[in-house]
C-alpha cells in the first residue's frame, strides 16, 4: 500500500520557517542600537498544493526570503536634509572664531587700539608743544599697528584652517565614493545570485548619508540594486561601481583650494564643502575690509599730517609708512617718527607748536562719517563695528538655520525609524509567535511520525 509522507514534509518546512523567524527576530533585537540598521522580516508563502485523487492537498509553507523594511523616498529625504545640515554646521563652526578674532581681548582689541590712537592726538591737541605726548602718540600707534597685524594674522589662520578642512574633506569624499562603489558591486552580485544583501544595503545607506553631509550628493536608484550619487551641478560622483574623484588645486595668489571635478570647477549646493567654501569667501571679504580700513586710516592720517608742521618747524612727513600698498598685515609707523617723536605734527604750517588744530583734525577722524571702505561707509569705529556685527550675524544665522534644520531632520529620522527601526515590544511579540509556532510544528511532526510508524507496523 502507498504511504503519504507529506505530513512529515509539511512539519519539516514549518520547523525551518519558524526557526528562521526566530533567527531574524534575534538579529533585529541584537541590532536595536546599531546606526542605520533596517529591521528585517521573514517572507513566507503557502507552498503549491499537490493533487491527490479528487483532492488538492497543501504541502506546507515556503520561505520566500528575508526582507528589510526600507523606504527609499524617506532615505533620500534624510540624505538631502543631512546635506543642508552639513552646510550650516560647517559654516557655523568655521565662522565662530571670526567674531572673536575681530573683537580681540578685552583690552587689546582693534577697537580699543583705534580709540587709543586717535585719543592720543586729542590729548596732543590740548598741549601741542609736549614732547612726552608725542612719544605717547608713537606708543599708541605701535599698539594700533600691532592690533591690525594680529587681527589680520588671526583671520588668515582661520581662513587657512578652513581651507585645510576643505582639502581633508575632499579626501574623505573620495574614500567614501570608492566604498559606496564597491558596495554597489557586492550588492548587485549578491542579489543577482539570490543572496540577502540587507547588511550591505544598510552599510551603503550610512555611507551615502555621510557623503551627502559632506557634498550634498543626492542618490538615484539604478534598478539593479546599485545607486548613483550626483552633486549640485548634476555631475555623477558614483555610478554603479564606478567613481569620479574630486581634485584639489592650489589657486594663486592666495594659495587657497579650488575643487575640480573632471577638470572643471565642482559645484556643491549643500554639504560641508559648500559651507566651508562660503566661510572662506566670507573670511576673505572680512580680510579685504580690514585691509581697506587700515589703508583708509593711513591715507587720511597721512593727508592731515603732511598738511601741518612738526615741532621743529618743518613740514610734516607721512605719519605712516606708505612706501607700498598698505594692508592690515604691513601697516607701520614712519620709522623717522619712531626715532624722533618731535616729527609728530600737531599744528598748521604757520604755527609750529602753537596750535593743536591738526592734531584735533586727526583725532576727529575716528568719528568722521566721511570714510568709505569697500561697500561700507561711515566713521572708522562704525565701519569696524559693522564688520564685527556682520561676523556675528553670519554665525547666528547659521545657528538659527541649524536649529530649524535639526527639527526637520529629526522628523525625517523619526519617520524612517517608524518604518525601519526596531521595536523591542514588537520583536518580543514576534519571538513569542515564532516560538509557539515552532513548538506546534514539532508536536505536529511527532504525531505524523507516530502515525507513520503505526502504518508501517500494520503493513508488516
DSSP letters for 227-250 = EEEE-TTS-EEEETTEE--EEEEE
Is 416 among the domain residues?
no
Comparing 185-194, 352-361, 421-430, 442-451, which segment has the lowest mean pLDDT? 352-361
Looking at 385, 408, 431, which one is the last position of a domain? 408
Q: Are residues 20 and 92 in the same domain?
A: no
pLDDT at 1: 38
| Degrees, nearest 5: CA angle 7-8-14 | 90
- List pLDDT tens digits, range 103-126: 876 566 898 999 999 999 999 999
Is 332 among the domain residues?
yes
For 110, the grid coordinates are 582693534
Tell me if 362 sits within 8 A of 118, measured CB to CB.
Answer: yes
Instruction: Give residue for cell 578642512.
Output: 165
Q: Are residues 184 and 217 in the same domain?
A: yes
Domain of residue 308, residue span? 76-408
Rounded mean pLDDT of 374-378?
A: 89
Quick check: 56 pLDDT over 80? no
Q: Are residues 12 and 157 in the same domain?
A: no
- Tally of CB atoms within 10 A around 39: 24
Tell me if 257 sits within 8 A of 248, measured CB to CB.
Answer: yes
Mean pLDDT of the chain: 90
Strands (E), 370-459: 371-373, 376-378
Is 414 among the domain residues?
no
pLDDT at 47: 87
Is 413 among the domain residues?
no
Q: Are residues 171 and 239 in the same domain?
A: yes
- Cα–Cα distance, 319 to 120 (Å, whole number): 14
Comparing 43-52, 367-376, 389-398, which segment has the lowest mean pLDDT? 43-52
Is 96 among the domain residues?
yes
Q: Are residues 43 and 146 in the same domain?
A: no
Q: Are residues 156 and 297 in the same domain?
A: yes
Quick check: 155 pLDDT over 90? yes
Rounded mean pLDDT of 18-29?
A: 94
For residue 271, is it left (φ>0), alpha (ψ between -120 and 50) or beta?
left
Question: 295-307 b/e with 16+ CB inside 10 Å = b?
Answer: bbbbebbbebbee
pLDDT at 3: 45
Q: Are residues 45 and 90 in the same domain?
A: no
Whole-structure pTM value: 0.85
Q: Are residues 248 and 336 in the same domain?
A: yes
Is 387 among the domain residues?
yes
Q: Are residues 188 and 60 in the same domain?
A: no
Q: Are residues 163 and 184 in the same domain?
A: yes
Q: Provide CB contacts within 8 A for 205, sequence distance 6+.
A: 36, 38, 75
Q: Provide CB contacts within 8 A for 367, sequence distance 6+.
A: 379, 381
Q: Are residues 339 and 191 in the same domain?
A: yes
- Cα–Cα distance, 375 to 289 (Å, whole number): 9
- Cα–Cα distance, 406 to 209 (Å, whole number): 15
Query: How many domains does the chain contain in total?
Result: 2
Q: Are residues 261 and 335 in the same domain?
A: yes
Amino acid at each position: 500500500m502507498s504511504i503519504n509522507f507529506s505530513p512529515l514534509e509539511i512539519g519539516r518546512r514549518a520547523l525551518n520557517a519558524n526557526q528562521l523567524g526566530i533567527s531574524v527576530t534575534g538579529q533585529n533585537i541584537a541590532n536595536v542600537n546599531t546606526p542605520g540598521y533596517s529591521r528585517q522580516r521573514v517572507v513566507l508563502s503557502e507552498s503549491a498544493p499537490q493533487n491527490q485523487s479528487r483532492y488538492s492537498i497543501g504541502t506546507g509553507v515556503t520561505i520566500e526570503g528575508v526582507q528589510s523594511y526600507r523606504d527609499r523616498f524617506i532615505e533620500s529625504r534624510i540624505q538631502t536634509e543631512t546635506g543642508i545640515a552639513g552646510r550650516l554646521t560647517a559654516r557655523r563652526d568655521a565662522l565662530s572664531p571670526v567674531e572673536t578674532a575681530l573683537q580681540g581681548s578685552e583690552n587689546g582689541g582693534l577697537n580699543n587700539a583705534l580709540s587709543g590712537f586717535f585719543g592720543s592726538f586729542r590729548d596732543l591737541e590740548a598741549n601741542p608743544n609736549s614732547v612726552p605726548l608725542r612719544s605717547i602718540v608713537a606708543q599708541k600707534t605701535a599698539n594700533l599697528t600691532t592690533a591690525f597685524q594680529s587681527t589680520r594674522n588671526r583671520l588668515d589662520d582661520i581662513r587657512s584652517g578652513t581651507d585645510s578642512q576643505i582639502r581633508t574633506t575632499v579626501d574623505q569624499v573620495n574614500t567614501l565614493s570608492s566604498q559606496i562603489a564597491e558596495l554597489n558591486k557586492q550588492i548587485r552580485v549578491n542579489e543577482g545570485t539570490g543572496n540577502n544583501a540587507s547588511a550591505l544595503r544598510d552599510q551603503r545607506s550610512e555611507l551615502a548619508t555621510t557623503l551627502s553631509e559632506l557634498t550634498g550628493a543626492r542618490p538615484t536608484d539604478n534598478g539593479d540594486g546599485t545607486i548613483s550619487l550626483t552633486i549640485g551641478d548634476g555631475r555623477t560622483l558614483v555610478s554603479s561601481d564606478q567613481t569620479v574623484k574630486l581634485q584639489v588645486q592650489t589657486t594663486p595668489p592666495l594659495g587657497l583650494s579650488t575643487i575640480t571635478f573632471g577638470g572643471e570647477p565642482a559645484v556643491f549646493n549643500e554639504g560641508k564643502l559648500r559651507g566651508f567654501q562660503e566661510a572662506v569667501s566670507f573670511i576673505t571679504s572680512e580680510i579685504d575690509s580690514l585691509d581697506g580700513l587700515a589703508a583708509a586710516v593711513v591715507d587720511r592720517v597721512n593727508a592731515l599730517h603732511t598738511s601741518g608742521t612738526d615741532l621743529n618747524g618743518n613740514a610734516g612727513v607721512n605719519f605712516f609708512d606708505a612706501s607700498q600698498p598698505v594692508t592690515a598685515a604691513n601697516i607701520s609707523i614712519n620709522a623717522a617718527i619712531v626715532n624722533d617723536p618731535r616729527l609728530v605734527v600737531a599744528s598748521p604750517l604757520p604755527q609750529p607748536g602753537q596750535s593743536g588744530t591738526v592734531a584735533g583734525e586727526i583725532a576727529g577722524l575716528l568719528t568722521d562719517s566721511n570714510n568709505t571702505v569697500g561697500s561700507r561707509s561711515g566713521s572708522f569705529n562704525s565701519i569696524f563695528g559693522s564688520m564685527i556685527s556682520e561676523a556675528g550675524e553670519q554665525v547666528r544665522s547659521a545657528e538659527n538655520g541649524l536649529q530649524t534644520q535639526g527639527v526637520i531632520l529629526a522628523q525625517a529620522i523619526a519617520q524612517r525609524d517608524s518604518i525601519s527601526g526596531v521595536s523591542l515590544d514588537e520583536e518580543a511579540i514576534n519571538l513569542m509567535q515564532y516560538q509557539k509556532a515552532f513548538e506546534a510544528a514539532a508536536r505536529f511532526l511527532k504525531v505524523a511520525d507516530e502515525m507513520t510508524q503505526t502504518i508501517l507496523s500494520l503493513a508488516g
